[in-house]
Amino acid sequence: MLFFVMGAAGFALTWASLDEGRGQLLFFAVLFYCINIATLLVALQHYERKTYQHNYLLYGFMTALLACLTLVKSIEGLVLIEVLVGLTLLPIALRTVIGGYAQYKNYGIALLGIAILLQFSNTLFQIFWLLTLDNRLIVFASSVFTQAVSFVFLGLGLTASLLIDEQRKLAELTVMDPLTELYNRRGMTQIMNADIDANKSVNVIAIDIDHFKKVNDTYGHEGGDVVLTEFARLVRSLARSTDVCCRLGGEEFLLFASDSSVSHCEKLAERIRSCTEQSSIQYDNYNISITASFGVAGLQTGESLESLIKRADEALYIAKQQGRNKVIVAPVS
């Protein structure tokens, strides 16, 4: 709503300033412009995964420019401030929009891109006007009108992108485990059935943390949650980016590897087993050591996902029977 209000106010002030004797209203139009650009930069932080120190320096620079507005008496001076703001902030905002769109595939961000391009083209237009100094009021008025239009795009873009983000988050909740941020059983089923239907080579590793009940009894459920989270992070770090990691519930996990071999999954399971055994998880003042057992199975011709998981579970059960902290490969039937 802020951007819609600012856009409407900018348009109204531009129209009013065309009347003789009301040129001072352009001061407020420029003020709206600077405030909107500053607000845009803050809003775009929603799409930044990292905090960049130069952004805080830019906030300070913006504050100084806004303070200068109270001292400027000429239209040229006001335009120069707009140019400085645009040249400084808009490239950073554009980079953020492009990065956000590439990461989130959010089409609402495309509207933000249109608004930013309008703002940036307006900045170039203002530089040209400063050099020519012809038809000052009309040219500047059309410049502020461009700002008003871009503010409408900003409002639409931010509204659409935030709504799409919320829908995406709600959709993820149905297929993701909130604790470990791995896929849950529903998400796993959707992805792996698609791979099986595509006749891909699919292999699965069934994983179970050994004696997890003892961890909960010793360190409480909060300590157990830390162990689950850190173990999930370890599995993700060792798996390929194309592998699908899932938490079925409790201490049970599944790792699916498409376009791979059983021997590859056996080596991967052994690497995860070894790293788990050698690692230590910190919780409060405790160093928690755990081990895990693994069952590996490869998809056979005509086999269903349920049958594949069952054979991996049977291999996992054998690993537990043989003393845990082992990797067992299911036999080919």
Residues with a catalytic annotation lie at 251
Q: What is the biggest distance separating any 2 CA atoms in the chain, rounded to whole angstroms?
A: 93
Cross-strand bridge partners of residue 249: 252
Please give the backbone phi and psi of residue 300, each rounded to the nearest 5 degrees, phi first.
-100, 165
290 exposure class (CB count in 10 Å sphere: 0-12, 13-18, 19+): buried
Cross-strand bridge partners of residue 298: 203
Residue 204 CA to residue 295 CA, distance in Å, equals 8
Amino acid sitting at position 85: V
Query: What size, in residues, is the chain?
Result: 333
DSSP 47: G
Residue 155 CA to residue 7 CA, distance in Å, equals 9
Q: Are 10 and 2 in contact (CB under 8 A)?
A: no
In three-state secondary structure terms, 66 is helix
User: What is the DSSP track for 219-245?
Assistant: HHHHHHHHHHHHHHHHHHHHS-TTSEE
Q: Are 273 and 294 in contact (CB under 8 A)?
A: yes
DSSP 1: -
Q: Are 100 and 47 in contact (CB under 8 A)?
A: yes
Residue 306 CA to residue 294 CA, distance in Å, equals 18
